[in-house]
Structure 1
């Protein structure tokens, strides 16, 4: 299924003890549910907010559900089975463009969290070195491959200029290690799994594109404003904590991903903190939204930029920032 069809399908959906935070907690007197697209290292701010007690401090009892896809996560909000969802804001923008009463209320990932890794000995002085090469990337629709296509276009190339192997997300390392491809477009923690096997990171999209609204919290416009305000404030607490407590943040990540090599988890967390993938605040700037939505417009998934002041709900963001 291509990206346009997958995003368009949203129309049918309308109908760590080791790293606990010593903070005084309010009684968890309000229960809410968040539906996340996947259990993902990218979504670590949410896990820190839950496991570190930041939501509890705001009087929230948060249940996390994993939907399996961005569209399913958003559908949970649309149907009322969850108050919040976590995925790329483009899904929310497409739904809103089609008439759904949803907006974005907080930032979670503020960098284009995609990297290019190559096998030892591979020449890579610029993106143009991928021409005529075998490249492994995630199956569309996914932002990693979309951004790779965007990068090719920006450098005077097209999809036909590379021999692309699309694989299920998270399995990009397989063809790379098996030498079926010598170049891979990857997310974390796959990237640092590849690095641990001798691969080299040659290009980071977070640095290349700067601020990029990559993943965010969505809610209906009719969401309980008190619950939303508490949620965003708790998330802001987690984001601030992550910036000044990297070791404790990594400990929470190891708890959430117990089957991964702790060395890989620690390296992935460090990389995403250092490169600004994990934001310092829940706010989303106009530029971050524009860059992200321009990608979707170029792919034909979105007709026009959403109106920033209406789409990004500062009603909940501003009080959270004031309380930092």
Structure 2
């Protein structure tokens, strides 16, 4: 009995310590937040703007961004409690939900609405056509990831069957795709910015098409939080989404060079001219969402893509995975 009491007391202490750690504040009284991002990309510009322009700080948050290197790693960090929030593809949330986990994370905000990658070939091709991919190979990321599944969707839209008409290389880790292409693997590769532009500038590859324009609108990158975090700290979740929404509004109102300077500290090896050009490209293709909420139609299209890739165990309702309440509140408050 004494041992059980001591174990119970120890368990309670551990729970209290974890709670204190999760809600710890710095010397300025800001709530410390660990955010795990799937990869580092200009595609996520509004996130970096929320940090650099002080929108998180104004909401009482100090955000530390950790790069996971893949949606699986980001989801693991979120589920384990290593991260308070995570930025990753919404498909990962669908997979976890379909595993029957009642405590699966929830999507609280959407950041991007198109594939943010570009298709690069080994030769410049101003007259590129998808028919030229027949008999070729493409490094496409890993099965189950949005870059991979979106590529399959686009290929089929152009009458090409992956695996028979085109070899889709899917055994290379996401953050190693550029290096693999540079070393001679594949005829083509899909890369995000600023890597795509850097490869083109250095003659390592040539951008032939924008995958986002080819795929159409689809929820591509979202912010997720654990259910217990949302239930225990709704004020934190609301503050986080408000900061993101304010950054979204700022990005769409600012000039490309302003956006470039606002996120330069997150891309120290990329010059302002390149960051400005990339920001202009993503703006022109309407890649960034203007509001943090997700629509029913977009969620359906996402599941259509997963289904076409053979990765959808069962369809789920929007409300099972997406909590638009914080986004709706932010829009109502801020306008």
The two structures share one fold, judged by TM-score above 0.5: yes
How many residue pairs align between the two structures?
298
Distance 1:241 1:145 in 2: 31
Aligned partner of 1:303 in structure 2 is 313
Distance 1:262 1:173 in 2: 22
* Distance change >3 Å, CA 122–CA 64, structure 1 → 2: closer
CA displacement at 1:179 relative to structure 2: 7.3
Query: What are structure 2's unaligned runs of at least 5 residues?
Result: 1-27
Does the CA contact (< 8 Å) of 1:152 and 1:159 recur in 2?
no
Q: Which has the larger radius of gyration?
A: 2
Who is 2:239 aligned against? 230
The answer to whether the 8 A contact 1:149-1:159 is kept is: no
Residue pair 1:122, 1:182 contacting (<8 A) in 2 also: no
Q: CA deviation at 1:277?
A: 1.6
Q: Does 1:193 align with 2:190?
A: no
Partner residue of 1:117 out of 120, 126, 144: 120
1:315 lines up with 2:319 in the alignment:
no
Indicate yes or no: 2:310 matched with 1:294: no
User: 3-state DSSP class of the match of 2:39?
Assistant: coil
Is the strand fraction higher in 1 or 2? 1
Matched ranges for 1:54-203 at <5 A: 54-98=55-99, 99-101=101-103, 102-120=105-123, 122=125, 124-140=127-143, 142-154=145-157, 155-165=159-169, 167-170=172-175, 172-173=177-178, 182-197=187-202, 200-203=206-209
- CA shift in 2, pair 1:318/1:193, >3 Å: same
TM-score normalised per structure 1: 0.81
**TM-align CA RMSD:** 2.6
Q: Distance in 2 between matches of 1:225 and 1:264?
A: 39
Compared CA separation, residues 179 and 85, structure 1 to 2 (3 A): closer
| Deviation of 1:49 (Å) | 0.7
Taking the TM superposition and a 5 Å limit, the aligned residue runs for 1:200-219 are: 200-219=206-225
What is the CA deviation profile of residues 155-210 of structure 1, one whole-angstrom value per residue up to 9, with x for unaligned ones? 14232222445544355555766776553322222221233246654332322233
Contact 2:71-2:89 within 8 A present in 1 as well: yes
Gaps of 5+ in 1: 1-26
Q: Distance in 2 between matches of 1:294 and 1:107?
A: 18
Q: Deviations over 1:1-51 (max 9, x none)?
A: xxxxxxxxxxxxxxxxxxxxxxxxxx7543332222233333222111111
